[in-house]
Amino acid sequence: MKKRNFLVTLFLSFTLILAACGTSDEGNADGDSGEEKNCEPSDDAINVAMVTDVGGVDDKSFNQSAWEGLQAYGEEYCLEEDEHYDYAQSTQDADYEPNLNRLTGQDYELVYGIGYKLTEAIEKVAGQNPDTNYALVDEVASEMDNLTSITFKEHQGSFLVGVAAALKTESNQVGFVGGVDSPLINKFEVGFEAGVKSIDPSIEVDVRYAESFDDAGKGRQIANSMYNSGVDIIYHAAGGAGNGVFSEAKDIKTNDPESYVWVIGVDRDQYDEGTVTVDGTDYNVTFTSMVKRVDIAVQDVAERMMEGDFPGGENIEYGLSDEGVSVADTNEEAYTEEIATAVSEWEQKIIDGELDIPSTHDELEEFLNNL
Amino acid sequence: MSVLQEIIPSAFLFAAPLIFTALGGVLSERSGIINIGLEGLMVMGAFVGIVVNLELAPFMMENFGSTGKLLTPWISILVAAIVSALFASLHAIATVTFRADQVVTGVAINFLALGVGLFLIKQIYGKGQTDMVDAPLNSTDIPLLSDIPFIGPIFFEGTYYTNWLAVILAFVVWYVIFKTPFGLRLRSVGEHPIAADTVGINVNKMRYIAVMLSGFFGGIGGSVFALTFAQNFSHGTISGQGFIALAAVVFGKWHPLGALGAAIFFGVAQSLSVIGSGIPLLENIPSVYLQIAPYVLTILALVGLVGRAESPKALGTPFIKGSR
């Protein structure tokens, strides 16, 4: 009996140790903290830190992007990592609050919570620490003087990739694969559909949800069904489930390099995900990507706080006009000059305020009626 | 016809990793060891499969050209299976030798696999997830068989060899469990270990073998899943497939062919929930009902409504030599 308890304890503590290893800061991959700097940290620069969600600081998505924003901020004002700016990694949902508290305790003046999952934790911690400022990315938090919410106008970026997709499709059928049917992902869906229909209302948009951000199997089944039914371009906003869309498109391409299938990536430029080599020739199924510039937003809020203009209690929405969202043009072969020109024309219209992009289903209906 | 052609390949594709893993579950549980750790074994398989594939692909492609590219995923799967078998031996050591609570160690296996996987990815690549592999499993038409009218296009066109390997293995496992002396011993230690012991069967050895085999199969399942669907490894690559496989074991009544059927049934249900909107009969059924159908049926099977699901008698009880 004793032996068994001991072993179970050993097992569990082993997992704990490993889990703990994940959270410890292993130094930044660039390793630039060691090199000498020939500048002095600016006096008015503030100390900033961020807490990742379970994706981790190098998730190739918004956590990573946010950290790059902090690094850029640090570089600009000649700050030291660990001293003036830092991050804390969360490996499970229960880590958010302790991480936020720890960074608050280390006298960081501005602490970011990256991802909607941190909403509750950051609201609680912000309520308990009125002297520290907090910023939540990707979700609107309740109003507090020391808490600001950073969101993105994903519908604008999605509108533009919708325009591009409409110009690119040959079958006049495009698809959208969402992660979970929620107001946030609906913004992607609605913007995309509006963009497609603005070019040609007769193009069909097949919308399906994987009901998961992780299940690549589900994503792939949906993509398989869509491509089978004649869809030639799929825009995914489904995180890891979107990998399934890529693997399906790549499999089709592998079997028939002539086939006309495309994927539109999300959050960051997913060009690398789309590469496929058939008989020594390189192809890429990533047509373009809807890029969310979390780094720009993060840096911007830090700078506003430096200037004494912390937007507490507000919700700042970053859109096309402040480069918060953009369209990737890495795949030049697919994303032709012609398409790029058309997209930038629409972009200008949105920036100039001539065009209001819908972000909910109701607004979409109205938008389509006015076309 | 065209509907079948759409549903079956997609269902089959989704079912293949579940079949492998469920077979592992059957072997382990038939010997009397509960294996909640299937999810963890799949995670380990996915992790090793992806890492080996990433590391090996450039070398193989350089030296063997396109043949090397075709071979790479198979080598990755084999290595993943072996490593997962070794990993599963932890479960065996804990539950067989030290008689630890089988459910608790199984849960620990799940946590440990993900922890080890992510930790090592971080150490090796310096980031939280790997890149996508260059040499994934790809679909092909199986020669000759795909020319059969009607059946060919549904089952053998654009399919994966791993799908058929899964089906063949299910029959192999069935044969081994029910038609060979080894299988009889395996079942006897799961039903009545004390009786088995008195006739000279080494109960602990049998259980070790069974649990490690479950690791082997779970590793295949995980790596096949990762190499066909996600094509990279991150915290969410295996998200519940191991538990679905576990449900398939129960729903299949601890029988290899039952598990095969259950896994395919789960695949069909999921595939219908995805494609259903295009099928006249199903378009009025909310897809959520199709999605939950497998789990509802599993619960019904457990409470005895869909036939009686009877687990091996000694499942979950450690064997103590000399006790009665």
Q: Write the DSSP string, A275-296.
A: EEEETTEEEE-EEEEEEE-HHH
Q: Answer whether A287's CB lies under 8 Å from A234's CB.
A: no
In total, the C-beta contacts within 8 angstroms joining chain A to chain B are 143
Question: To 5 degrees, how large is the angle CA B145–CA B141–CA B69?
Answer: 130
Residue B90 with chain A: CB contacts under 8 Å: 11
Give me the residue from B111, B139, B232 closest to A251, CB to CB.
B139
Supply the pLDDT for residue A6: 59
Interface touch B10/A217, C-beta < 8 Å: no
Q: CA distances (Å), A170 to each of A190, A233, B304, in order?
A: 22, 9, 53
Tell me the C-alpha distance between B178 and B158, whole Å: 33
Supply the pLDDT for residue A277: 85
Which run of H or of E encompasses A5?
helix A2-23
Nearest CA in chain A to B138: A251
The answer on A243 and A340 residing in a single domain is yes
Which run of H or of E encompasses A99?
helix A96-105
The alpha carbon of residue B171 and the mean position of all alpha carbons in its chain are separated, in whole angstroms, by 15
Q: Answer whether B170's CB lies under 8 Å from B20's CB.
A: no
Cα torsion at A14, A16, A19, A25 (round to 10°)? Answer: -100
CB-based contact (8 Å) between A4 and chain B?
yes
Give me the residue from A14, A18, A240 closest to B234, CB to CB.
A240
Q: Answer whether A199's CB lies under 8 Å from A166's CB.
A: yes
Domain containing A46 equals 40-152+294-320
Is residue A7, in this structure, part of any structural domain at all?
no
Q: Which of B261, B297, B274 is nearest to B10 (CA)?
A: B274
Question: B56 CA to chain A: closest CA distance, Å?
Answer: 16
Which run of H or of E encompasses A326?
strand A325-327
Per-position DSSP letters for B96-164, written without gaps between them? IIS---HHHHHHHHHHHHHHHHHHHHHHHHSSSSPPPPSS----BPPTTGGGSTTHIIIIISSB-HHHH
Q: Which of B25, B23, B19, B27 is nearest to B38 (CA)?
A: B25
Question: A53 CA to chain B: closest CA distance, Å?
Answer: 12
Helix, strand, coil shares, percent, chain B, to 5: 75, 0, 25
Amino acid B105 reads T
Supply the pLDDT for residue B64: 85
Question: B50 CA to chain A: closest CA distance, Å?
Answer: 14
Nearest CA in chain A to B96: A4
Supply the pLDDT for residue A28: 43
The answer on A189 and A142 residing in a single domain is no
Instruction: For residue A344, give the CATH number of its domain.
Output: 3.40.50.2300
The answer on A264 and A194 residing in a single domain is yes
Q: Answer whether B227's CB lies under 8 Å from B53's CB.
A: yes
The alpha carbon of residue B47 and the mean position of all alpha carbons in its chain are separated, in whole angstroms, by 15
Is residue A3, in this structure, part of any structural domain at all?
no
Interface touch B138/A208, C-beta < 8 Å: no
Considering only CA atoms, give the Rg of chain A: 22
Residue A251 with chain B: CB contacts under 8 Å: 136, 138-139
Is residue A5, in this structure, part of any structural domain at all?
no
Nearest CA in chain B to A250: B138
Question: A218 CA to chain B: closest CA distance, Å?
Answer: 8
The answer on A341 and A315 residing in a single domain is no
Q: Answer whether A168's CB lies under 8 Å from A287's CB.
A: yes
The answer on A183 and A240 residing in a single domain is yes
Supply the pLDDT for residue B269: 82
Supply the pLDDT for residue A33: 44
Count the residues in chain A.
371
> What contacts B214, CB < 8 A, 6 or more positions away?
B24, B25, B27, B28, B35, B38, B41, B88
Q: Which CATH number fits domain B2-132+150-302: 2.40.50, 1.25.40, 1.10.3470, 2.30.29?
A: 1.10.3470
Residue A208 with chain B: CB contacts under 8 Å: 274, 277
Q: Answer whether B282's CB lies under 8 Å from B272's CB.
A: yes
Considering only CA atoms, give the Rg of chain B: 20
Is residue A19, in this structure, part of any structural domain at all?
no
Supply the pLDDT for residue A25: 43
Is residue A330, in this structure, part of any structural domain at all?
no
Which run of H or of E encompasses B45?
helix B38-92
For an interface test with A, which of B95, B235, B320 has the most A Cβ atoms less than 10 Å from its Cβ?
B235
Spell out the per-residue pLDDT of chain A, length 371, in tens: 455 565 556 555 655 555 544 444 444 444 444 455 667 777 788 899 999 987 777 777 788 889 999 999 998 888 888 888 999 888 788 889 999 999 999 989 999 999 888 999 999 999 999 999 999 998 888 888 999 999 999 999 999 999 999 999 999 999 999 988 888 899 999 999 999 999 999 999 999 988 888 888 889 999 998 998 899 999 999 888 899 999 999 999 988 889 999 999 998 888 988 988 888 788 999 999 999 999 999 999 999 998 888 988 889 999 998 888 999 988 888 999 999 999 999 999 999 989 899 999 999 999 999 88
Supply the pLDDT for residue B308: 63
Q: Answer whether B157's CB lies under 8 Å from B163's CB.
A: no
The answer on A146 and A171 residing in a single domain is no
Question: A92 CA to chain B: closest CA distance, Å?
Answer: 11
**Helix, strand or coil, per DSSP, at residue A211:** coil
The answer on A354 and A280 residing in a single domain is yes
CB-based contact (8 Å) between A92 and chain B?
no
Residue B270 with chain A: CB contacts under 8 Å: 217-218, 221
Interface touch A247/B116, C-beta < 8 Å: no
Interface touch B14/A221, C-beta < 8 Å: yes
Give me the residue from A225, A240, A275 closest to B10, CB to CB.
A225
Tell me the C-alpha distance between B38 and B31, whole Å: 15
Per the structure block, which two tokens stand in for A29? Answer: 């991959």
The answer on A51 and A186 residing in a single domain is no
Q: Which of A226, A295, A270, A153 is nearest to B277 (CA)?
A: A226
Tell me the C-alpha distance between A318 and A157, whole Å: 11
Give me the residue from A29, A60, A225 closest to B129, CB to CB.
A60
> What contacts A155, CB < 8 A, 6 or more positions away?
A187, A188, A190, A191, A194, A357, A358, A359
Is residue A29, in this structure, part of any structural domain at all?
no
Q: CA distances (Å), A86 to each of A78, A118, A120, A198, B121, in order?
A: 14, 17, 22, 44, 22
> What contacts A253, CB < 8 A, 6 or more positions away?
A259, A261, A276, A278, A283, A285
Q: Is the dihedral of CA A150, A156, A157, A162 positive or negative?
A: positive
Q: Answer whether B246's CB lies under 8 Å from B106's CB.
A: no
The answer on A286 and A160 residing in a single domain is yes
Is residue A4, in this structure, part of any structural domain at all?
no
Nearest CA in chain B to A223: B274
Tell me the C-alpha distance between B207 and B213, whole Å: 10
The answer on A304 and A175 residing in a single domain is no
Q: Which of A108, A64, A56, A112 is nearest to A85 (CA)?
A: A108
Spell out the per-residue pLDDT of chain B, length 324, in tens: 477 777 888 889 899 999 999 999 999 999 999 999 999 999 999 999 999 999 998 898 888 888 888 899 999 999 999 999 999 999 999 999 999 999 999 999 999 999 999 889 888 887 778 888 888 888 888 888 878 887 788 788 888 999 999 999 999 999 999 999 999 999 999 999 999 999 999 999 999 999 999 999 999 999 999 999 989 998 888 988 999 999 899 888 899 999 999 999 888 888 887 776 666 677 777 777 877 877 787 777 667 665 666 788 888 888 888 776
Interface touch B105/A217, C-beta < 8 Å: no
ipTM of the complex as predicted: 0.86
Question: A321 CA to chain B: closest CA distance, Å?
Answer: 32
Tell me the C-alpha distance between A100 and A10, whole Å: 29
Interface touch B112/A18, C-beta < 8 Å: yes
Q: What is the pTM of this model?
A: 0.85
Number of structural domains (chain A) is 2
Burial class (CB in 10 A: 0-12, 13-18, 19+), B50: buried
Question: A52 CA to chain B: closest CA distance, Å?
Answer: 12
Tell me the C-alpha distance between B82 and B217, whole Å: 9
